[in-house]
């Protein structure tokens, strides 16, 4: 039951709080069927996720409109991140299901991760932590206006 399972889902709860809470929720852009949100536990600064508003874990069951908007907003995210954070490259992808490594397995989402030459270091391996050179609020302040003008 999508209604019951979506109740605790952050991808349903956060946009449901309304546009006035977008900055706190880290939502940088709202489309018609899909929104773009900063990952609260980013792999790199600017790590975004493109998420349908509709709660579903079934990629195959996404509507054509949802799929098209996810693709277009993923492309827009790459464009925005190139301009705002100067990324050299990107990882785009989905982990569909818990076995595949999805942290939130019951709501489909696409990751857009900016990458730079030499952006990996020993901290994730040895210290099981990541060092980010920028606070999420600072990243949000750069990306939200860039989405508005992209």
Annotated catalytic residue within 29, 107, 109, 111: 109
State the burial class of residue 136 (Cβ atoms within 10 Å of its Cβ: 0-12, 13-18, 19+). middle
**Long-range contact list for 127-132, CB < 8 A, 24+ apart?**
130/42, 130/43, 132/42, 132/44, 132/45
| Residue 109 annotated to the active site | yes
Please give the C-alpha separations between residue 28 and each of 6, 47, 55, 85, in angstroms, as whole numbers.
Answer: 21, 12, 19, 15
User: In what helix (H) or strand (E) does residue 52 lie, and over which residues does it extend?
Assistant: strand 48-52
- Please give the structure tokens belonging to residue 15: 């946009």
Catalytic positions are 109
């Amino acid at each position: 039951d999508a209604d019951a399972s979506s109740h605790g889902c952050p991808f349903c709860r956060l946009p449901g709080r309304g546009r006035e809470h977008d900055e706190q929720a880290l939502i940088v852009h709202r489309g018609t069927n899909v929104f773009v949100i900063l990952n609260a536990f980013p792999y790199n600064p600017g790590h975004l996720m493109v998420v349908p508003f509709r709660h579903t874990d079934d990629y195959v069951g996404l509507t054509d409109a949802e799929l098209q908007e996810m693709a277009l907003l993923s492309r827009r995210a790459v464009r925005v991140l190139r301009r705002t954070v100067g990324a050299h490259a990107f990882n785009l992808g989905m982990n569909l299901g818990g076995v595949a490594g999805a942290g939130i397995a019951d709501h489909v989402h696409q990751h857009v991760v900016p990458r730079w030459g030499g952006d990996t270091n020993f901290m994730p391996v040895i210290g099981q932590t990541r060092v980010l050179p920028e606070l999420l609020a600072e990243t949000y302040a750069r990306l939200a206006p860039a989405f508005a003008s992209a």
